[in-house]
Every structure is written in C-alpha cells, then in structure tokens.
Amino acid sequence: MSTSTLRIATRNSPLALWQAHHVGGLLRLADPGLTIEYVDTATFADKRLDLPISELGGKGAFSKEIQALVLNGSADLAVHSAKDLQAVTPDGLTIAAFPERGDQRDVLVGARLEDLADGDVVATGSNRRRVQLAHARPGLVYAGLRGNIATRLSKSGDFAAIVMAAAALERLDLDVPVVDVLSPEVMVPQVGQGSLAVECLSNAPDIVERLADIDHLETRALVTAERGFLVELGGDCDLPAGAHARLEGGRITLTAVLASADESVLARTEIVGDSSQANPEALGAAAARDLRSQVETGA
C-alpha cells in the first residue's frame, strides 16, 4: 500500500491519547511508510465534571464529538474506548477495527473488598458498578466520582475505595496503593470494557482496508456479542447492566447482569454459543431477553 497520511481523532485525556497513539503505532507496524497525525479535543462531557453522564446524553457522551470530526472530514478515523460507544453505530460510520483487547475487569483502589466495613464510602460514577457492589456487600455507602484517571486517583484519599478499570491503570502504567482486581464473578464489566474501537467512514474502502490489518478477530467476536446485549436492551451508559464475553474451546460464553428499575433485583445469566456463528450479537441479544424476563418477574 502506498505511503500516505492518516489523521486520528481522539479525546485529549492522557488515557485517550495513549489509546490513539497505540492504534497509530499498530498501523505503522503494518505500514512503516505511513504518517500519523493526531486531532485531539476535549469533549463537552470532559469539561462538565459537575454533571453525571446520564445528564450529558449517556452512551455517546464521550464519543459523539470525536465521531463528528470524522464525519465532517477533519479526521480520517477515530479511536474510542469501546465501552463509551453508543449501542448503534451512527449512519456513515463503521467500526473497522477492534485491536486486541486488554484487561476487561474492574478494580478497587484503596482497599480490598473483603476489608471494607459497613458504612465505608466507595466512589464511582457508574450505576453498573454501584449496583453490583451493593448486592455483593450490603452496608457500603456510595458517592459519585467523575474525571480523568489522574483526577479520580487524586480524590481517592477522600473515600475508603474507588472503582476503576484495570486496563486504564495498566495502560498508563500507574502504581496505585491497594488494588483489588474484581473477577467477573463479583463484578461483570461494562460492554466493551478493555477494548478499543476504531471508526472510519463506511464509504472509505482504502481506510477500512488499512484498519483490517489491526482488527483482532477474537476481540471483534467477543465485543460484538456484548454489544448485541446492549442493542437489545436499548442500552445507555447509566443502565445498571454489564456483559462479559470470553472464548473457551471455540465457544463464546457470555455472562451478563441487569438490575431492575428500583435496583432491588439484580438478575444474572450465562449464555453459550458457537464462536463461528455469523452473528455473535445474537448471543448478546438472547442474554438481554433472558435478563429482561427475570427482572420483569422478579426472579
């Protein structure tokens, strides 16, 4: 493929920039003659840390302005945390690559779960995390927390513990006190957590072809199954739901949770399907229907 330049749109937080440069590095490994430029910006959601994500548009709050840079021609592709993407890809765009996934799990920073006492305050801006912890450990108290990784870590001393994504700490190579990695049996991750999603114009075959070089097929299958769960739910960022797909022996196992509106019921399911199926999102959709039924019946 001939030498050319690709412009990558990204948020300007340290983690987002790491992710964009990681994708740029992968593309240059595939084509050493490629020139990469970065188009970074702070989204409205990055600036309004006083508001919960649910008031900022929920799913897509961190991605819509980055997607707009591709749609208006200011950039050739966009790099996102897959967990920040809307359930349905906007018209005109396609997710052309899911690079190999990082750690999907959540972590507690500041204390181990088993060491927390009734009345201890745990901070998180995620309803998914809060509801699962509340069911696992009744008696804890919760506070909201938003901001980039450094901002949240700087406030960690104000609480007994804060909840973060393992992949974020690993990617920024941060050494933090008392990290308790929460297994998916304790805390089912967010859809797409630990994965990057690279979008470009759907009518840009040359860029789609380049991005195919960094598309990790196993990651694509697993994240697609998880996103199928979110699509079936009509999911938003503040929905108390999570999904975790893994590949075992050629089969995808999808574990998912969904809380009732009053959060009194936390339903859990596990669906297994053949990884070779043409539409892994059907697996996620089946899990969503099962959980919705459980929640409606109070099971």
Catalytic residue among 84, 106, 180, 290: 84
Question: Does the active-site annotation cover 84?
Answer: yes
Q: Which of the 8 DSSP states describes residue 157?
A: G
Query: C-alpha distances in angstroms, 199 versus 97, 194, 236, 248?
Result: 7, 17, 20, 28
Give burial (CB, 10 Å; 0-12/13-18/19+) of 95. buried
* Strand bridging mode 121-123 / 161-165: parallel
Strand ranges in the chain using DSSP code E only, listed in sequence order: 5-11, 35-41, 77-81, 93-97, 106-109, 121-123, 141-143, 161-165, 179-182, 196-201, 241-248, 251-259, 266-274
What is the phi/psi pair of residue 47, to 5°? -85, -30
Q: Which residues are catalytic?
A: 84
